[in-house]
Amino acid sequence: MPKSELVSTDPCTGEVVWTGAAGDPAAATAAARVAAPGWAATPLDARIAVARAFAATVRDRAEAFAALIARETGKPLWEARTEVASVAAKVDISVTAQAERAGERHGETGGVRQAVRHKPHGVLGVLGPYNFPAHLPNGHIVPALLAGNTVVFKPSELTPAVADFMAACWGASGLPDGALTVVHGGRAEGEALAAADIDGLLFTGSATTGAALARQFAATPHRILALEMGGNNPLIAWDVADEALDAAAALIVQSAFLSAGQRCTCARRLIVGPDGDALLDRVARLSDRLIVGAPFDAPEPFMGPVIDNRAADALQAGFAALIGRGARVVRPLARRDRERPFLLPGIIDVTGVAERDDAELFGPLLQVVRVPDFAAALREANATAFGLAAGLIGGDAALYDVFWRGSRAGVVNWNRPTNGAASTAPFGGVGRSGNHRPSAFYAADYCAWPVASLESDTPAGGIATGLRP
């Protein structure tokens, strides 16, 4: 059967960035299976050396890499540069994480030597999203390779060029053939990879896809499945001092609109008390000043378009549906022009809207909810089946303590944007946001399995109790 033709385009111009054919996940997996024993047997130091060479290659090619990410996603060049820097930095962080989380430990129990060592799973599949097409798959690929697995990577069909660029960096850094294979394609190839001869699947993407994968994996519980999914993230602004209003507004705008709202940790719901008007006014006025533009524009934009017209249309339909249910527009989620998916930041007051969907609207749209007291704020924050990020702006240490204890999310920040996360910490959500296999610093945990051993150089034993003389 002929493989379907794939095309990726620049969201800002509609120009073609990449064309190619969909790949064959089963064939790629078979090649990865052949390469697996050799890579697993390669000493850890040698695997680390290859990964460090990859980081050096990425740094050498950083400008071209960033320019490609910017073209294929539409994100500003400055932001694409930070993504490339994260790709390179991931290697040293993962080396440390692996030693700490999945290293070798020796001890003694009852006079007997005891050891804990880790083994790679074998062949791991990686499915990537479009919003951070390099950094997020890389966050699975680096720890998986370091642990001694071979990897089959299916990137988002919207960002294949970035995936090829990243794979070429590995190829130029001494990674043996078959250790990392890129398979292009969309949903069908993703499903085929999940069904192929893999020992586990490391996924970053939407909750709907993650749930489908969990169903597909239900019959094979021995295969590892790590799901990093989206959120419907709350941000409470409470007791913000007058002199802190500008800073608070900046944190809110960053939380909601960074990356054109296309971060899994972006704030979707801003929860304010009866005194919230002054702050809301500053948020709206600051949003008006955000430059929405193409990656290479001067002056530099704060944010680019969303990924394509389909996504922009869906977001605008979601916005219209909220208006239809009685929400009040603070700032319209307007199109900058009719042809391309540039959206101006939207703000909508949904207080009193009876039926709000608990959905992730993955774009620059902030919903405002007004509540009478902090208990109601916390209830609203947790009124979601997701549990990725949550934030509190304002208050004091005692209020943060109440918020931290009461909020149900894997990332809980105070007076920082919801989308701020340290790469030296674990990263993942609960509820519909994840399956308790956090990534980032804890990725080492799902890339290897522990083997516990009791060891003696010579047979040493005797039966102390229960023997006839």
> Which amino acids are annotated catalytic?
228, 264
d(C-alpha 252, C-alpha 286), whole Å: 10
DSSP helix/strand/coil, 225: strand
- 266 forms beta bridges with none
**Rounded to an integer, what distance in angstroms lies between the CA atom of residue 162 and that of residue 82?**
15
Question: 159 in helix, strand or coil?
Answer: coil
Binding site for ligand NAD (CB under 6 A): 127-132, 136, 154, 156-157, 186-187, 190-191, 194, 204-206, 209, 212-213, 228-230, 264, 360, 362, 388
Q: Are 348 and 322 in contact (CB under 8 A)?
A: yes
CA-CA distance, 298 to 334, in Å (whole number)?
Answer: 22
The structure tokens 């902030």 sit at 366
Say which DSSP state 191 is in: H
| 107 class by beta-carbon count within 10 Å (0-12 exposed, 13-18 middle, 19+ buried) | exposed
Residue 398 C-beta-side C-alpha neighbours within 13 Å: 2
Could you count the other beta carbons within 10 Å of the beta carbon of residue 406? 16
Residue 390's H or E segment, with its range, is strand 389-394
Cα dihedral across residues 253, 341, 78, 138: positive or negative:
positive
| Residues comprising the chain, all counted | 469
Report how far residue 297's alpha carbon sits from residue 219's, in angstroms, rounded to the nearest whole number: 50
Q: Please give the Cα distance from 193 to 424 (Å, whole number).
A: 30
How many angstroms separate the CA atoms of 148 and 214, rounded? 25
DSSP string, 312-367: HHHHHHHHHHHHHTT-EEEE---BSSSSS--BPPEEEE-TT-S--------SSEEE
